A and B are shown apart, each in its own frame.
Chain A
Amino acid sequence: ETGVTQSPTHLIKTRGQQVTLRCSSQSGHNTVSWYQQALGQGPQFIFQYYREEENGRGNFPPRFSGLQFPNYSSELNVNALELDDSALYLCASSFDIYEQYFGPGTRLTVT
């Protein structure tokens, strides 16, 4: 059984650019949630995908969007990057409503 994987590990972008982050869910899991973790803070919920449909969203603007694919992997897209978007982006997978297992994260730096 493989765990949750994320790519890339690190990323540096310029303000105004667009970025796509990827997440492969744990085997057997059908739900992926994305979180933003600013330095020294707890993770904040961005949105969740369940069986390819968005299943809930936190207080993030529409320039944060996502996708889930038939194999339950997922992408997080952020348009018009701002300096405050610099953070660790975490995805977590679960089977339906049960325990969420986090990936190692993608460290995004916006300059």
Chain B
Amino acid sequence: QQQVKQSPQSLIVQKGGISIINCAYENTAFDYFPWYQQFPGKGPALLIAIRPDVSEKKEGRFTISFNKSAKQFSLHIMDSQPGDSATYFCAASLLYNFNKFYFGSGTKLNVKP
């Protein structure tokens, strides 16, 4: 059973546009939801993370929206830039159960200049 489902698989956005990636999770006990950015040949880099006690977190151009009742969370990238072109992974974990991460399958974002 896939614990975290991510969509879309790929996304093309024009420079300056908004990129939106969605994730849904199964386990209501999850209490930590990070987003990672991965460039080809590199390891994932932590972008932004949220706990379920807040509905939104913003860091620069990146915003996480969290809907606990729907068991969904999403990443919004405002003013998308060609340098944002990468694969994005959402994840969920139980902080007090050795913080094992369950990752989504990834979204390949291509920002056109």
* Interface residues of A, Cβ cutoff 8 Å to B: 4, 6, 31, 33, 35, 40-45, 48, 50, 55-56, 58, 90, 92, 94, 97-105
- Asked whether, in the complex, the Cβ of A105 is within 8 Å of the Cβ of B43, the reply is yes
Complex CA gap A27/B104 in Å reads 28
* Interface residues of B, Cβ cutoff 8 Å to A: 4, 6, 34, 36, 41-46, 49, 89, 91, 95-106
Given A90-B44, A105-B43: A48 and B100 within 8 A (CB)? Answer: yes
Complex CA gap A4/B45 in Å reads 11
- Asked whether, in the complex, the Cβ of A102 is within 8 Å of the Cβ of B36, the reply is yes
Complex CA gap A24/B20 in Å reads 34
Complex CA gap A42/B103 in Å reads 6
Complex CA gap A98/B100 in Å reads 11
Complex CA gap A56/B100 in Å reads 8
Contact residues in A for B6 (Cβ distance below 8 Å): 42
Complex CA gap A61/B42 in Å reads 26
Complex CA gap A42/B41 in Å reads 14
What are 9 A-B residue pairs whose CB atoms fall within 8 Å in the complex? A35-B103, A43-B89, A43-B101, A45-B101, A100-B34, A101-B46, A102-B43, A104-B41, A104-B42
